[in-house]
Structures are given as structure tokens and as C-alpha cells.
Amino acid sequence: MHLTSKRVGSGLAGLALVAGVATVAAGGSASAAGGTKVTSVAIATPAKTNDYGWNAQGVAGLQAAAKAYGITKIKIVPNIGYPTTPAVLQSLAAAHYGLIIAHASGYDTQAKQVAAQYKVPMVTYDIPTYLSPGTLSNITTSSQQGAYLAGVLAAKTTKTGTIAVIISASDTNWYEMEGGYIAGARSVNPKITIKTAQIGSASYDDSAGGKRVATSVIATGADVIFAMGDGSAVGYLQAISTAKVGHKVWYISDIGDFTPIDTAHVMLSSVLWNFTNAYKTFIGQIQNGTFGRKGYNLTLANGGISLAHSKYISTSVWSLITKAQSGIVSGSISVPDTTTAGQVTALLKK
């Protein structure tokens, strides 16, 4: 699962790794449990950390995890893009931070090599086989579970009988959430009309593209739109906020909560990703000497994935969503895991 990158990264050209350093360094000290006490953490993000999405959630999760362990030394290196990834990760490794988050799966290959060379604990994304005792672990997501709940909400909210889902890139996570959304909506109304659209192959931060595509699906009659993206979400919100179609159009976002900038009151909900428990788990593993043996999957059951309960969701609808969540957690409801565009298309045709 999650074999396609969350973001498309640059190649390894120019990656010059230097000699490794001792495992126990400035970021930690020897632990009685055979591990290393973590005294500092760091995160490198591809874009700005005020995006209310991927970058913001990663930073918030690390800050919360650090606080839980009494760690006050937190290094945030934002908006690095991809060309400078090797240099940034090497710099953090050379500073011996006790845990380093390489916050984009486009960083995975570089992060793996830097972690191995410097012998520092590094976290990557989306590739569950990226494990190495003491130096490398990963986060994957079952985000389709939250998207299923969003589909239930959309189907119970729509007045036109048409809903939509927009993705910003050719991304495994987005395909999974598309499939979950489609399945959730059809669990309420098998005949519901579902429109799908995509901005581009890697248009995560394309705000203008988000506005353009959202405007086009609104024109098809969709009045509840689940739209995924990062910076492109600002464009989605603009299009939905200014829609002039004679009826209310609702927005369901992903990863973060855009309510603080929702001046038009169109935010119905969001499929939230919370990294706090994952990072807390990794810090604990480093300190007890088990880091790198097992990754962490964000799910409904562990709170890594959830659906935001806004004031616009009625008690009866939320009760239905809660029931669906219980079914997913117990296994009585099976959510499809569509990891490719072809699988999403096939699901739509069923």
C-alpha cells in the first residue's frame, strides 16, 4: 500500500554523503532500556507550514509529540522543495537530532541513505518496507477509512443528488481516498451521481488550478465536494465560497482543518490526518531500542485518521457516521483500497 509517492521527489544527483557518526550523539543520550533518550527532534517539509494541510499537520504532530516527552529542542526546516533535500537532511543528521522527520515520500530514497550513513533515526512515508533497526522507519495511512465517512456525510447532505471528488495529483493516497469516498456515498445512496476530477500529475500547491477545477465540477451540479491538495485547497475554498449557482455548495477538505480561513462558512468537514501518536510511538521506540522494526499506519482505530465534526453536521447524520466508523474499526464494513486511477475508474463503473 502507498507505493506511489505522496509527492514526487528529485533524483539523487549531487548527493554526497560523508562518513557516519556515532548513534548516540547530541540529539540523545544512552538509555537504561538499551535505547537512546531523545532530547531533540527535527522535521523538513516540502512547502510552507501555514498550509492548514500536509506541512502544518506534520509540524503540529511533532510539536505535540515532543511536548509529551518534555522535549524542547525542535528544529523546523520548512519550504525546502526537492532540489535541496539531500543537503537539508545531511545538515540535520550532522547536527545529531534524536529523531528526524523527512516529511514527504518524495524524500524517501535520500532519507534512507542519509539515515544509514549517519546512523540517525529517520522517518519516511508510504513505503512499509523502509525499515532498518535503529535508523529508519515509516508512516503509511489507511486514509480511505476517513474518506468513506466523508462519502456518507456527502450523500446525506447533498440536495442536488450530485457530489464530487477532486484530487490534485497522481497520488496513491488520493486514489485511496477517492475510492473510500465513492464507497461511503454509495452505502447511503447506490444511485448517487459522483463526479471526479484532477488538477494535474503533481499539482499539490496549485491554487489557481484548484479554483478552476472546483468551478468546473460545481457547474455539473455537484453541491458537496471532497477535494484533496495542500496549497491547491486554497483554490478549492475560493471557488466554493464564491459559487453562484442558486444553492449551497459544501467543501470537505483533507489532512488539516481549513475552518480558520472559512469566511463563507462552506466547510462541512475534513478527513483529518494526525501524526502525533505516530511520532510519540517513534520517540518511545528510540528510547527503548526498538525503532526501525515496525512502521506506523494511520487508521480510524488509532486516531491517526478521523472525520471532523463541524457544527453543520446534524446529530442524526453524525450518528450514522459514528455507526459506520464502528463498522470499519470492527471489520464489519470493508472499505475498498483503490491505489491506482484505474481501480478508482473500475469502482465508479460498478
Domain 28-141+275-298 CATH assignment equals 3.40.50.2300: yes
The helix/strand/coil state of 162 is strand
CATH T-level fold of 143-273+314-349: Rossmann fold (3.40.50)
Contact 256, 53 (CB under 8 A): yes
Contact 99, 44 (CB under 8 A): no
Checking phi first, is residue 51 left (phi over 0); if not, alpha (psi -120 to 50) or beta?
Answer: alpha
> Nearest Cα to 209, choosing from 257, 166, 163, 262?
166
List, in order, residues 6 or more apart from 103 with CB less than 8 Å away.
43, 44, 45, 46, 54, 55, 58, 125
Please indicate, yes or no, whether the overall pTM of this predicted structure exceeds 0.75: yes
Domain boundaries, the chain: 28-141+275-298, 143-273+314-349
DSSP label at residue 8? P
Residue 180: the pLDDT is 98
Handedness of CA 71, 75, 81, 86 (dihedral sign): negative
**Domain 28-141+275-298 shares a fold with domain 143-273+314-349:** yes
Residue 143: the pLDDT is 97
- List of the chain residues with pLDDT < 50: 1-26, 29-33
Amino acid in position 212: R
Beta bridge partners of 43: 76, 101
Cell, residue 11 = 533524483
Residue 28: the pLDDT is 55
pLDDT digits (tens, 9 = 90+) for 54-79: 999 999 999 999 999 999 999 999 99
pLDDT digits (tens, 9 = 90+) for 215-227: 999 999 999 999 9
